Amino acid sequence: MAFEEVHHQVLHLLPTRPVRILDIGAGTGRDAAALSIQGHTVVAVEPAEELRAIGQRIHATRHIEWVDDSLPYLARLGQQRGRFQLILLTAVWMFLGEEQRREAVSRIGELLEHGGRLGMVLRSGPAPADRGMFSVSPVETVSLAATRGLRLIHESRQVDVLGREGVVWNNLFFESARPRGDN
């Protein structure tokens, strides 16, 4: 699916001026490439070597920095890359257990610029037995994000385009609350 198809419900929430973006779980780089074309500086985090290699090959002409790393800690990403104005997680959150999600939201909060945005696409519904997925609810995710000062600014749902019975995709967009005294 094209970037615009997957994210059509939240395109209006994406930055229009070039900013620093972190795409966590970038896969083969569909989202990272689309954002790079728009002029953004993109860091694509992908732990699967095969997917990362494909992404690096098919998007070689794009200005994307690829990093071999994973949630919940993003240890290789380190602090040297600074903070990001937008962080995206598309079809990633359901691969983290409850404790990992708590740790991951903390790390994401550290990496998000004050006033920045976090966009998530969550899968709800039955998971294939061989995929190692966890049940993740939008309600739990919104509550967890709030503990890190992330305020929900958009929530929408869309049916699974592959027609999988009971599978729904939830789009959540959050904004980082500005700390007191920060203008």
In a domain, 62, yes or no: yes
In a domain, 179, yes or no: no
pLDDT digits (tens, 9 = 90+) for 83-100: 999 999 998 999 999 999
Mean pLDDT across the chain = 89
**CATH code of residue 83:** 3.40.50.150
Most confident range (mean pLDDT) of 45-49, 79-83, 126-130 is 45-49
In a domain, 12, yes or no: no
In a domain, 180, yes or no: no
The parent domain of residue 44 ranges over: 3-7+18-173
Cβ neighbours of residue 32 closer than 8 Å, sequence gap 6 or more: 21, 23, 26, 42, 44, 55, 59, 62, 64
pLDDT digits (tens, 9 = 90+) for 63-88: 999 999 999 999 988 766 789 999 99
Pairing mode, strands 20-24 and 84-90: parallel
Tally the domains of the chain: 1
Average pLDDT of span 131-157:
91
In a domain, 79, yes or no: yes
The residue whose two tokens read 């994973």 is 70
